[in-house]
Amino acid sequence: MKSQYVFDKRKHYLALVITGEYDKEEFMSYPKMILEEAEKENVNKVLIDILQLKGTDIPIMDRFFIAEKIAAQIGGKVKLAIAWPKEHINKFAETVAVNRGGLMNVVHTVDAAQEWLLNDN
């Protein structure tokens, strides 16, 4: 595996920290794993911290396919807040996932991700 991950149960959500190096195949497997862990922990909010991952300037088509997989497997069951390096955010994946029924927001800090995640409006 090029990337590593660890889940941490917090008071109102599940945190997932992904480190190492970006790999498309691994990222395509994450939505199912995230949904399973959220169901196991009985939470409907997940904060994903990708700030320490290498290779976050991923191709546009990778963003499309990963976001499509998120929407198909997770949909509106789990609210996802993703902290991604600011210089590589273009909101494309977020738009793809949201347009297909997902609840997802991509921001550049963990604090901003947590704020959006815990805001129920």
Could you please report the per-residue DSSP string of 63-101?
Answer: HHHHHHHHHHHTTTSSEEEEE--GGG--SHHHHHHHHTT
Percent of the chain with pLDDT over 90: 98
pLDDT computed for residue 120 by the predictor? 80
Dist CA 63 CA 86 (whole Å): 15
What integer is the mean pLDDT of 64-84?
97
pLDDT computed for residue 121 by the predictor? 64
pLDDT in tens, 6-44: 999 999 999 999 999 999 999 999 999 999 999 999 999
All domains in the chain, ordered by first residue: 3-118 (3.30.750.24)
pTM, whole model, 2 decimals?
Answer: 0.95
Percent of the chain with pLDDT over 70: 99
